[in-house]
């Protein structure tokens, strides 16, 4: 069988067309590089559209006391101090500019009375900070970036007579392999989903912006695209992954009815007055305020209710605790037998706001549930529970350049596929600003990396042949199992054994089962031909899902503490010594290798942004002594 391979030459190839990918592509194109955008879906359909709440940026439009230092502090607190401090710092400093820039691309955010971008409250953020458009901020972001790319193409059309002279979108295209020349990236190999034809991109720089890994879980808010492609591509190219044990389970995904299972109920429902109740009708969140947060959160329902109208003189309701705390509380309630039959709790906004007001504040939420499930959120409470939502872990990157760590060069990563920025837990709203800030940086530095190259790396023909063989293999076997059955088994292992609450025995069991699945996946077979064959596509994605799941399970077993998005029932507390450790995964042959690596140290000027009492909860005595010495010096 002869194989036709279409070949393209680009300076920068961006894999992924969500917010981070598009922002990176814009930057690379603005830097004069010939840029390709690879999208697994149609252009503009990325998972970014699911982000509802908003984009966090300390613009201070609603509360002028807000600034980057407060945002930085909130981000570090949310991530339980495991964040890469430099990423959190850059993110807090640069996100306002990234948001304002979107307005010059045509974005229309909701406004304050004085005509500035309005900002809303969100869990974990001290001040109203999220730029938003109703509850469809992600859609606005994607559409804005998509339209900016179109406008750049229109410029190119005027200048070169061709829309695609310098930036082209390859929609419905999947990359299966990165190709190297020594340790340098030389290109990427993949296939067009529509035709099944192969395509080879020769490019010295690749930006990964492929999003997350949620499809490995049973209950997830993530779309089919979230199969950890970028994570796996990076691993196989010799890069490393960090923090893979930290997965965010959104506390409030719908659990019933099935047509909306996994769909998230935005946290702004709670910000706007929604409360959580168990099956006995008790508003249970007051029982779950950790000591760490006790000072900032209300102790009585009366005080909590006053906060919505008078936030300066009252403490926040406990429903607005960081996501992991809320998820854990719901999990405990359900396990104690106080959940609904479907295994969730009730989120009630219907009895707290007039119907008209709910429809005005949460229009797409209202219309979504009405349409999808015939649930009227203005009349009845929603049934919600923890849902796999976001992976904090990802490709280990240099904070300033977004270049992947490890031995590979010319590989960059931004957005959900990168790790470190959010530490052990991401604050709501920080993902949209994350992908803008680091998407831009990745594009910019990919371009300057290309400028600095003496010789263009070459794709080796045997590598391409190997990639072709690997891609065609599932179609040529007819004895293996169905990819759909394998995916279900993988989701069961991850959902049941590496889910929100973890135990040693279960994690060990999970690793054994993943090992068995690995052999079955190696023999998967897909029926049908190459033309738009979802079975074949899934068969190829399974390999990626599996290796990334192994990383998560291994890291989860290794980290013997509970922190943010990683909860061990057998080690329920946060250990300051573990805060100093990043777990780093790499590939050794086809085996996942796990190493411990020290966390970068917080520099003095950032150290001083925190009170000692707060730091005492996170740091070891040794680190506290250093802090005291610094404080002494400053006097």
Q: Which of 32, 258, 505, 603 binds another protein (CB under 8 A)?
A: 258
Among 3-11, 282-290, 454-462, 529-537, the segment contacting another protein (CB under 8 A): 529-537
d(CA 163, CA 160): 8
Q: What is the enclosing helix (H) or strand (E) of 155?
A: helix 137-160
The reply to whether 44 sits near another protein by the rule CB under 8 A is yes
Which residues in 180-209 contact another protein (CB under 8 A)? 194
Q: Residue 12's closest CA among 176, 32, 160?
A: 32
304 binds another protein (CB under 8 A): no
Smallest distance from another protein to CB 476, Å: 15
CA distances to 76, 117, 182, 216 from 179, rounded to whole Å, are 36, 44, 9, 26
Distance CA 95, CA 474 (A): 44
Task: Report how far residue 15's alpha carbon sits from residue 229's, in angstroms, rounded to the nearest whole number.
Answer: 9
Within residues 228-257, the interface with another protein by CB under 8 A covers 256-257
160 marked ligand binding residue: no
50 binds another protein (CB under 8 A): yes
Using the rule CB under 8 A, give the single segment among 2-10, 41-49, 320-328, 585-593 that binds another protein: 41-49
Q: Does 114 bind another protein (CB under 8 A)?
A: yes
Q: Is 50 among the annotated ligand-binding positions?
A: yes
Query: Does residue 298 have a known ligand-binding role?
Result: no
46 is in an annotated binding site: yes
Based on the shown chain and the rule CB under 8 A, indicate whether residue 483 belongs to the binding site for another protein.
Answer: yes
Task: Count residues near another protein (CB under 8 A).
Answer: 75
Q: Which helix (H) or strand (E) holds 510?
A: helix 504-522
Site membership for another protein, residue 111 (CB under 8 A): yes
Which of 12, 26, 200, 263 binds another protein (CB under 8 A)? It is 263
Structure-derived torsion over alpha carbons of residues 84, 576, 594, 416, reported in degrees to the nearest 10: -30
Per-residue binding letters, 536-565, with another protein (x by CB under 8 A): x-----------------------------
Which residues belong to the active site? 323
Q: In the chain, what is the greatest distance between 2 CA atoms, to the nearest angstrom? A: 77
Tell me whether residue 42 is annotated as binding.
Answer: yes
Ramachandran quadrant class, 81 (left: phi over 0; alpha: psi -120 to 50; beta: rest)? left
* By the rule CB under 8 A, 260 interacts with another protein: yes
Please identify, among the stretches 45-53, 227-235, 296-304, 616-624, the one whose residues bind another protein according to the rule CB under 8 A.
Answer: 45-53
630 is in an annotated binding site: no
CA distance 126 to 398: 28
Reported as half-sphere exposure (CB side, CA atoms, 13 A), residue 269 has a value of: 28
Q: Which of residues 268-287 bind another protein (CB under 8 A)?
A: none
Site for another protein in 52-91 (CB under 8 A): 59
Tell me which residues in 133-152 interact with another protein (CB under 8 A). 133-134, 136, 139-140, 143, 147-148, 150-151
Residues in the chain: 635
* DSSP secondary structure, 131-144, as one string: E-STT-HHHHHHHH
- Pick between residue 78 and residue 134 the one whose CB is nearest to another protein: 134
From residue 42, alpha-carbon distances to 18, 46, 192, 539 in Å are 11, 8, 12, 20
Coil, helix or strand at residue 239: strand
| Token pair 């109208």 in the structure block, residue | 309
Q: Is 18 annotated as a binding residue?
A: yes
Q: Which of the stretches 107-115, 274-282, 324-332, 415-423 binds another protein when contact is defined by CB under 8 A? A: 107-115
Q: Is 49 a residue that touches another protein (CB under 8 A)?
A: yes
Number of Cβ within a 10 Å radius of residue 336? 10
- The Cα 377–Cα 361 span in angstroms is 12
Asked if 42 touches another protein (CB under 8 A), the answer is yes
* Interface with another protein, residue 625, by CB under 8 A: no
The CB-of-220 to another protein minimum distance in angstroms stands at 10
Q: Does 492 bind another protein (CB under 8 A)?
A: no
Which window, 217-225, 376-384, 572-580, 589-597, contacts another protein (CB under 8 A)? 217-225
**CA 378 – CA 383 distance, rounded (Å):** 14
Q: What is the Cα–Cα distance from 97 to 349, expressed in whole angstroms?
A: 34
Does 116 sit near another protein (CB under 8 A)?
yes
Q: Is 620 annotated as a binding residue?
A: no
C-beta of 49: minimal distance to another protein in Å? 5
Cβ closer to another protein: 151 or 300? 151
| 307 near another protein, rule: CB under 8 A | no
**Residue 535 binding another protein, by CB under 8 A:** yes
Of 96 and 124, CB closest to another protein = 96
Contacts with another protein in 353-382 (CB under 8 A)?
360, 364, 367-368, 371-374
Q: How far is CA 406 from CA 184, 213, 335, 397, 409, in A?
A: 11, 21, 42, 9, 8
Whether residue 507 contacts residue 553, with contact meaning beta carbons closer than 8 Å, is answered with yes
| Residue 201 in marked binding region | no
Write the DSSP assignment of 338-378 as a string of letters: -S-TTS-EEEE-TTTS-HHHHHHHSHHHHHHHHHHH---TT
426 appears as a binding residue in the annotation? yes
In terms of CB distance, is 150 or 346 closer to another protein? 150
How many CA atoms does the CB half-sphere of 174 hold within 13 Å?
24
**From CA 476, how far away is CA 468, in angstroms rounded?**
12
Smallest separation (angstroms) from another protein to the CB of 181: 34
Would the annotation count 53 as a binding residue? Answer: yes
Least Å from the CB of residue 215 to another protein: 12
The reply, when asked if residue 505 is annotated as ligand binding, is no
> Which token pair is 29?
């194109």
Please state the residue numbers annotated as binding site. 16-21, 39-54, 229, 250, 266, 389, 416, 426, 431-432
Please state the residue numbers annotated as binding site for substrate. 250, 266, 389, 426
Please state the residue numbers annotated as binding site for FAD. 16-21, 39-54, 229, 416, 431-432
């Amino acid at each position: 069988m002869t194989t036709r391979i279409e070949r393209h030459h680009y300076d920068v190839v961006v894999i992924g067309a969500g917010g981070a990918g598009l922002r990176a592509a814009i930057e690379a194109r603005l830097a004069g590089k010939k840029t390709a955008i690879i999208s697994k879906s149609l252009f503009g359909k990325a998972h970014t559209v699911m982000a509802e709440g908003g984009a966090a940026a300390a613009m201070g439009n609603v509360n002028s006391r807000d600034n980057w230092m407060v945002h930085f502090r909130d981000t570090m607190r949310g991530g339980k101090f495991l964040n890469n401090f430099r990423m959190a710092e850059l993110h807090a400093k640069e996100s306002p500019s990234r948001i304002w820039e979107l307005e010059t691309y045509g974005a229309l955010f909701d406004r304050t009375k004085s005509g500035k971008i309005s900002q809303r409250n969100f869990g974990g953020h001290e001040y109203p900070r999220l730029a938003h458009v109703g509850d469809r901020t992600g859609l606005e972001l994607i559409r804005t970036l998509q339209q900016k790319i179109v406008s750049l193409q229109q410029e190119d059309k005027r200048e070169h007579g061709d829309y695609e002279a310098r930036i082209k979108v390859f929609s419905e295209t999947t990359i299966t392999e990165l190709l190297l020349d020594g340790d340098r990236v030389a290109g990427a190999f993949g296939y067009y989903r529509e035709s099944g034809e192969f395509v080879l991109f020769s490019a010295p720089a690749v930006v990964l912006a492929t999003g997350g890994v949620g499809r490995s879980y049973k209950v997830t808010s993530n779309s089919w695209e979230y199969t950890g492609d970028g994570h796996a591509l990076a691993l196989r190219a010799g890069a490393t992954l960090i923090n893979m044990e930290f997965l965010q389970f959104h506390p409030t995904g719908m659990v019933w009815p099935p047509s909306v299972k996994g769909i998230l109920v935005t946290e702004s429902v709670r910000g706007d007055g929604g409360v959580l109740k168990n099956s006995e009708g008790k508003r249970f969140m007051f029982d779950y305020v950790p000591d760490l947060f006790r000072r900032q959160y209300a102790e009585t329902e009366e005080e909590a209710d006053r906060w919505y109208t008078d936030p300066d003189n009252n403490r926040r309701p406990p429903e607005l605790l960081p996501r992991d705390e809320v998820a854990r509380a719901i999990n405990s309630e359900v396990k104690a037998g106080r959940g609904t039959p479907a295994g969730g709790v009730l989120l009630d906004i219907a009895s707290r706001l007039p119907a008209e007001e709910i429809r005005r504040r949460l229009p797409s939420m209202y219309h979504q549930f009405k349409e999808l499930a015939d649930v009227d959120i203005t009349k009845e409470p929603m049934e919600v529970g923890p849902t796999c939502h976001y992976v904090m872990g990802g490709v280990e990157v240099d904070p300033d350049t977004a270049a992947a760590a490890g031995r590979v060069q010319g590989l960059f990563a931004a957005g959900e596929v990168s790790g470190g920025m959010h530490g052990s837990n991401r604050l709501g709203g920080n993902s949209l600003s994350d992908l803008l800030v680091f998407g831009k940086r990745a594009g910019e530095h990919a371009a300057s990396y290309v400028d600095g190259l003496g010789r263009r790396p070459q794709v080796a023909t045997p590598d391409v042949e190997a990639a072709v063989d690997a891609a065609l293999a599932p179609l040529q076997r007819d004895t293996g199992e169905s990819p759909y059955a394998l995916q279900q088994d993988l989701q069961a292992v991850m959902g049941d054994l590496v889910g929100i609450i973890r135990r040693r025995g279960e994690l060990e069991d999970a690793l054994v089962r993943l090992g068995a699945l690995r052999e079955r996946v190696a023999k998967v077979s897909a029926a049908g031909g190459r033309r738009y064959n979802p079975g074949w596509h899934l068969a190829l994605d399974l390999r990626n899902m599996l290796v990334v799941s192994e990383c998560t399970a291994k890291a989860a077993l290794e980290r013997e503490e509970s922190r943010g998005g990683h909860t061990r029932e057998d080690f329920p507390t946060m250990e300051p010594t573990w805060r100093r450790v990043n777990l780093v995964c790499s590939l050794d042959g086809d085996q996942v290798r796990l190493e411990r690596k020290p966390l970068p140290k917080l520099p003095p000027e950032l150290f001083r942004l925190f009170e000692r009492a707060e730091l005492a909860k996170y740091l070891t005595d040794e680190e506290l002594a250093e802090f005291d010495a610094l404080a002494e010096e400053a006097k």
